[in-house]
Amino acid sequence: MSEIYMPRLSDTMEEGVISSWAKNVGDKVASGDVLVEIETDKAVMEYEAYEDGYLVKQFVSAGDTVPIGAVIGFIGETPDAEAPEPGGAPAAPAAESAAAPAEEKPAGEKPAEAPAAEAPAAGAEGPARPRTSPLARRLAKEYGLDIDAIEGTGPKGRIVRADVEAARDRAASGAPAPAAAAPAAAAPAAQAGSDDLRGSEELKVSQMRKTIARRMVESKQQAPHFYLRRTIDAEPLKAFRAQINEQLADTGVKVSFNDLIVKAAATTLSAHPEVNRSWEDGRLLQHHRVNVGVAVAIDEGLVVPVLHDTDKATLSDISTRTRELAGKARDGKLKPQEMSGGTFSVSNLGMFGIDSFSAVINGPESAILAVGAMKPTPVVHDGEVAVRNTIALELSVDHRAVDGAVGAAFLKDLAEVLESPMRIIL
């Protein structure tokens, strides 16, 4: 008998949603078979079985949200093997989310008992400890806060990092803790009236959208952003791209302007390792590999596949790999390792005609490059006014890890590489 646990499928995942079960109760399972599809904060991913047997029980249903480590099912040696109720604290949230009201169960089926983790231990006094994430507990200890006094806003009242940091900020400012039930109960009614006036409807929020919202707020609140802007003469880059693509015509590979910018950024990062850093939990980390993330817009939101060792890759490799990862992102088939380990990111909105913009840092990275559209601009060239194609670049930097002069030197050299594009491949 083997328990099936909710796996961690990405570095930012805290919980997953059961998208669909690929196997039904009683089905034979072979090692490598897809058991279940799980919606994470970044994609819908397939979870495979690691042993042979039969799927004896599903403790959660499609649509259920389950924390990492919770038991979601059992595999037995025979299809009629008895599946024990999941035990231990990690399985409690899964069993609770799977438990249906008694009236919804088929006649004669005994309602599931409440998991042991939900009740106080024998002889224990007072209420059970609130659910917390390990990070929340560690931060509460660092900030000198009583974790039991913090109100959780996560799934089923779970105390998460944002709750601890909010409690820390209230303690620092002397503000009282938020009122609990009564004042909050009035909010939905007032909001409903406003929604009626606007003709609004509530949309289902995907795990990806929740994570995007959380991480963007965290990035802006925690990372002190500063911004550096530079406009480059893109005529040499345009000519260089045409020359490269002419040479690659027989291979079927076509290099984009974004491929050139990604490679140029990686080349410049190699020369400026002090930008290839991150600030994480009070630690300054120097990264020895240059892994550039490329922002990809999909229907559900924004994902950032990572090109590992970008500084060592050829332009044709970057072009091929970027298109492959973008396609997998749109199909929801990205693997965890294809979205992890980034040390710098590039976000390009030029294809939408955007002149320039300020990008939010993709934490825990320390910088992100925003790329605008190529457009003809009157400029002074060789002492005369001429119309030349230009591209606006903007570098968003985390001031905790990178100083202004360091970021400025990086952007200066990046602009020079792009204006002398042969340096991209030398």
C-alpha 49 chain-centroid distance: 25
List of residues 6+ apart from 361 with CB closer than 8 A:
219, 223, 225, 345, 367, 368, 396, 397, 398
Instruction: Dig out the tokens for 349 from the structure.
Output: 């909105």
3-state secondary structure of 387: strand
Least Cα distance to 258 among 335, 372, 153, 344 occurs for: 372
Contact 194, 201 (CB under 8 A): no
- Return the half-sphere exposure (C-beta side, CA atoms, 13 A cut-off) of residue 144: 4
Q: In 10 A of CB 172, how many CB atoms? A: 9
Element (H, E) at 28: strand 28-29
Strand 44-48 to 344-348 pairing: unpaired
Hey, what's the torsion of the CAs at 64, 68, 69, 71, to 10 degrees? 10
Instruction: Dig out the tokens for 32 from the structure.
Output: 């490598």
Strand 367-381 to 344-348 pairing: parallel
3-state secondary structure of 355: coil
Element (H, E) at 386: strand 384-398
How far apart CA 88 and CA 101 sit, in angstroms, is 22
In degrees, rounded to 5, the angle at the alpha carbon of residue 322 between the alpha carbons of residues 316 and 323 is: 95
**Burial class of residue 185 in the structure, from the number of CB atoms within 10 Å of its CB (0-12 exposed, 13-18 middle, 19+ buried):** exposed
Instruction: Dig out the tokens for 22 from the structure.
Output: 């690929």
Amino acid at 159: I
User: 225, 272, 308, 399: which one is catalytic?
Assistant: 399
Contact 6, 51 (CB under 8 A): no
Q: Is 399 a catalytic residue?
A: yes
Helix boundaries (H) for 312-419: 315-330, 404-419
List of residues 6+ apart from 384 with CB closer than 8 A:
none
What are the start-end ranges of the E strands in 261-305?
277-280, 283-286, 292-294, 296-298, 301-303
- Active site positions, annotated: 399
